[in-house]
């Protein structure tokens, strides 16, 4: 419980802050909302954060899971929900409503992290299904080619995360694939539609 008081705990907290800042920057890329038709809403933005953060946590729990991996995953979870708590308050959700809202977001994140991890291990079809159900769940209609393009990005993201050593991740160093490289297929799908 008081691991943040140890040197290892403080290092995990710093790394988690850096990782979460990178996740926020990537998740806020306008390309997701323009070319990939992710709803530019509070829910849509949460979905992009959950996608990136969930896959990173999934990476930490693969292969031989060390105590440092668990500590970093928990620190990342804490950083994410501290930020989401602050965001809820900024949007005007009152003190009494924030805990209920956070509980719902925590359950949603855990479900999505599990779903995306399982989907990416099961193949492209499962990834497309998970994205359709979660990212595009509030959309009345969505072009399958756009979902396929986002699934190709997710595949690239998973490959990129596996290319990183856990030591790099433990130090807070992470890079994401350039989403702009996947615009062609999504843009073509939007023009055809």
Contact 111/57 with Cβ under 8 angstroms? no
Model-level pTM greater than 0.85?
yes
Among residues 51, 68, 76, 24, which one has the least CA distance to residue 166?
68
| Residue 141 three-state SS | coil
| For residue 28, pLDDT beyond 90 | yes
* CA within 13 Å, CB half, 44: 16
* CA gap 143, 146 in Å, rounded: 5
* Alpha carbon 72 to its chain's center: 15
Q: What is the pLDDT of residue 99?
A: 78
Separation of alpha carbons 8 and 135, rounded Å: 35
In contact, 22 and 164? CB cutoff 8 Å: no
Q: What are phi and psi of 84, to 5 degrees?
A: -65, -35
Residue 140: how many other CB atoms lie within 10 Å: 5
Q: What pLDDT is attached to residue 183? A: 81
Count other C-beta atoms under 10 Å from residue 4's C-beta. Answer: 13
In terms of residues, how long is the chain?
193
Mean pLDDT, the chain, rounded, equals 87
pLDDT at position 184: 67
| The residue to which tokens 């954060």 are assigned | 49
Give the tens place of pLDDT for each residue, 55-105: 999 999 887 778 888 999 999 999 998 888 778 777 777 777 777 877 888
Write the DSSP symbol of residue 5.
G
Domain chopping of the chain, boundaries:
7-192
| Cα angle 135-124-159, degrees, rounded to a multiple of 5 | 90
Q: What b/e string do you get for 46-82 counting C-beta neighbours within 10 Å, with b at 16 or more?
A: bbbbbbbbbbbbbbbeeeeeeebbebbbbbbbbbbee
């Amino acid at each position: 419980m008081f691991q943040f008081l140890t040197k290892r705990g403080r290092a995990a907290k710093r790394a988690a802050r850096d990782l979460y800042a990178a996740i926020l920057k990537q998740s806020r890329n306008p390309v997701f909302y323009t070319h990939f038709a992710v709803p530019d809403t509070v829910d849509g933005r949460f979905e992009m954060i959950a996608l990136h953060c969930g896959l990173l946590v999934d990476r930490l729990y693969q292969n031989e899971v060390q105590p440092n991996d668990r500590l970093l995953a928990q620190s990342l979870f804490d950083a994410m929900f501290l930020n989401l708590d602050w965001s809820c308050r900024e949007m005007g959700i009152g003190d009494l409503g924030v805990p209920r809202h956070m509980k719902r977001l925590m359950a949603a994140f855990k479900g999505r992290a599990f779903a995306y991890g399982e989907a990416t291990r099961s193949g492209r079809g499962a990834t497309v299904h998970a994205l359709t159900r979660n990212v595009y769940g509030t959309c009345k209609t969505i072009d399958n080619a756009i979902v396929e393009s986002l699934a190709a990005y997710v595949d690239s993201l998973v490959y990129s995360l596996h290319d990183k050593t856990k030591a790099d991740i433990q130090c807070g160093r992470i890079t994401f694939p350039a989403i702009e490289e996947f615009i062609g297929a999504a843009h073509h799908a939007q023009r055809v539609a």
